[in-house]
Every structure is written in structure tokens, then in C-alpha cells.
């Protein structure tokens, strides 16, 4: 696939960041989710519409090896007319290899327009619509295989879900 070939070229030319300060500077901020190699079970777009999937990375100020990472899914239940967000909040530690090790802290479902008739069903639909490492990032290691000012390619590895690559672009 073309995307895989382009990512491979970027990764081969990439020189990894070797200091925590530059890593934090590079990853900090808001990122839009663009692509995954995960096999998604899928969802019915007539019932659930994803408005956006984004990630916010906030390195720690006092402890530079730690930080917060939040995945945010903006959703709309088409038939019900309800919409809102699901935030998946994590703590992370930078490993000696420079990877981010994520620990899930909580899921926060926030209706904005109306409320879903069945919040548990909505959670299941969201879980099937996004990569597992986005919805349930438990004990997840995130290795940055390429990063510049606008694009970040990561390899996510967990015992539960295996390995996949995700591409993010910096929010403007």
C-alpha cells in the first residue's frame, strides 16, 4: 500500500530524538489521528458518526519523564440526534529506550447535545470504530518511528492487541 511505502521511507531517513527535553518538545500538543494499520471491526455510519479522533500530549512540568495523554473521540448518534465526546485519559512514563509507556486512568463520556439512550451501547460502538490502542491503551508502549513539526508516526505495542502503526498530524 502507498501509505506503508511512504511511512517506510520516512522512518528510514529519521534520526530519533536522544534527549527527554527534545522529546517532550516534539510530542507536546494537540494531534489529529489520521491512519492506522489496526484491523478495525468497523461501525455503522448510519448510526454512529465520528466527527474527530484526536490526541493531546502534556509532558510533566516537574517530572519530565512523566506526563498525561488524552485521546478524544467526538461522536454523533445520527438516529438519536445526540452528540458529545469520549475522553480516554492516560498517564505515561518515558522508558529508558525513549518510548512512552501508557497506563489508562479513565474513560469520560460527555454528552454535548442530548444524551444517548444507551450509553453502554454507545461505548461499544466507539470501541469498534477506533483502534484498540486508542480506546483501551492499557499497558501500551508507544515507540515514535518518525516525527517532525507536523507529523508523528508511532508503533503501538501491547500484549493484548499486538503491534500497529498510527499516524497523527499536528492540529493547526
Number of separate helices (H) and strands (E) present in the chain: 4, 8
Question: Stretch 55-62: mean pLDDT, rounded?
Answer: 94
* pLDDT, tens digit (0-9, with 9 covering 90-100), for 114-146: 999 999 999 999 999 999 999 999 889 999 999
Alpha carbon separation from 15 to 10, 12, 131 (Å, rounded): 10, 8, 27
Which of the four pLDDT bands, split at 50, 70 and 90, describes residue 62?
Answer: confident
Question: Which residue segment(s) compose the domain that 42 sits in?
Answer: 1-170
Identify the H or E element spanning 49. strand 48-59
What contacts 4, CB < 8 A, 6 or more positions away? 37
Q: Is the pLDDT of residue 71 over 90?
A: yes
Q: Considering the chain, what percentage of its residues have pLDDT values greater than 70? A: 100
Q: Region 62-87: what's the mean pLDDT?
A: 95
C-alpha–C-alpha distance, residues 62 and 67, integer Å: 10
Domain CATH for 35? 2.40.128
State residue 116's pLDDT score: 94
Cα 12 to chain centroid, rounded: 23
The single-letter DSSP state of residue 165 is E
Total structural domains within the chain: 1
Amino acid at each position: 500500500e502507498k501509505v506503508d511505502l511512504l511511512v517506510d521511507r520516512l522512518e528510514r531517513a529519521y534520526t530519533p530524538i536522544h534527549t527527554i527535553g527534545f522529546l517532550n518538545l516534539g510530542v507536546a500538543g494537540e494531534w489529529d489521528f489520521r491512519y492506522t494499520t489496526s484491523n478495525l471491526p468497523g461501525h455503522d455510519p448510519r448510526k454512529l458518526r465520528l466527527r474527530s479522533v484526536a490526541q493531546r500530549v502534556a509532558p510533566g512540568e516537574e517530572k519530565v519523564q512523566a506526563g498525561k495523554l488524552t485521546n478524544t473521540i467526538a461522536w454523533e448518534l445520527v438516529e438519536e440526534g445526540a452528540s458529545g465526546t469520549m475522553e480516554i485519559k492516560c498517564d505515561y512514563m518515558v522508558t529508558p529506550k525513549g518510548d512512552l509507556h501508557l497506563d489508562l486512568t479513565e474513560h469520560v463520556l460527555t454528552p454535548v447535545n442530548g444524551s444517548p439512550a444507551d450509553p453502554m451501547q454507545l461505548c461499544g460502538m466507539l470501541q469498534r470504530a477506533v483502534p484498540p490502542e486508542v480506546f483501551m491503551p492499557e499497558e501500551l508502549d508507544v515507540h515514535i518511528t518518525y516525527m517532525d513539526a507536523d507529523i508523528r508516526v508511532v508503533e503501538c505495542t501491547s500484549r493484548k492487541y499486538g503491534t500497529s502503526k498510527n499516524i497523527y498530524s499536528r492540529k493547526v
